[in-house]
A and B are shown apart, each in its own frame.
Chain A
Amino acid sequence: GAVVSQHPSWVICKSGTSVKIECRSLDFQATTMFWYRQFPKQSLMLMATSNEGSKATYEQGVEKDKFLINHASLTLSTLTVTSAHPEDSSFYICSATGTSYNSPLHFGNGTRLTVT
């Protein structure tokens, strides 16, 4: 079945540094990818919607200059957390959908980010 891969699965970085998270669709072309953030014991909160070849659409309250999203190809989207701070520590999850209307949504296994 369709697989979405995230890398890395976990990362620890120092405060002030930037971290890049990759989301790849392995066996289908993903025209749209979504990035979510999930704090412990909480639900998934949509951060942004990324369409291949265009600028991402950010949800209200999400800083686009802090969370840089690039979706340069139909199989790869990246989320870069710039100048990370401890409060950015979270579980980041991507999902991807294909080119057809009502294409199913596939989720990656998430990236655990810890900022020290």
Chain B
Amino acid sequence: GESVGLHLPTLSVQEGDNSIINCAYSNSASDYFIWYKQESGKGPQFIIDIRSNMDKRQGQRVTVLLNKTVKHLSLQIAATQPGDSAVYFCAEGTGGGNKLTFGTGTQLKVEL
């Protein structure tokens, strides 16, 4: 079946460095992609989204890049802070609905 997966289960970065979290998706029909942050014991928190008619979208300290040719999604976090430590999930959807398929997640650890 279709699936969304991540390359790296754990990413450790130094405080102040930039972080890049990657995600590969396999459903070519997906047209909506979202990055979520999940802290321990809490629900997912929306970070940023992007639609398939865009290649890049920027938010506050975060940038999402979408490469539809290779079905790849990435989340870039600038000047990573200790508060960014969490598990990050990509998710994909189709047709404007909110039924999402989540990737396996990446644990981001920020070292002081």
Contact = CB atoms under 8 A, between A and B. Distances in A.
A112 B43 contact: no
Q: How large is the interface on B (under 10, 10 to 19, 20 to 34, 35 or more residues)?
A: 10 to 19
B100 A105 contact: yes
Nearest to B4: A43
A34 B34 CA distance: 16
A102 B96 contact: yes
Contact of B43 (A42, A45, A97, A107): A107
A104 B46 contact: yes
B59 interface: no
Interface stretch (B12-20, B68-76, B77-85, B101-109): B101-109
A32 interface: yes
A44 B96 contact: no
Contacts of B43: 4, 6, 93, 95, 107-110
* Most chain B C-beta atoms within 10 Å of own C-beta, residue among A43, A49, A95, A112: A43
Nearest to A98: B98
A68 interface: no
B19 to A, nearest CB: 19
A105 B98 contact: yes
A46 interface: yes
Nearest to A95: B98
A103 interface: yes
Contacts of A6: 43
Interface string A71-104: 0000000000000000000010101010001111
B98 A43 contact: no
Interface string A42-74: 111110010000000000000000000000000
Interface of A: 4, 6, 32, 34, 42-46, 49, 91, 93, 95, 97, 101-110, 112
12 contacts: A34-B99, A42-B104, A43-B104, A46-B99, A95-B98, A97-B98, A105-B34, A105-B100, A107-B44, A109-B43, A110-B42, A112-B41
Given A6-B43, A107-B46, A109-B41, 18 more contacts: A32-B98, A34-B100, A42-B104, A42-B105, A43-B102, A43-B104, A44-B44, A46-B100, A46-B101, A91-B41, A93-B44, A97-B98, A102-B96, A103-B98, A105-B34, A105-B46, A106-B46, A109-B42
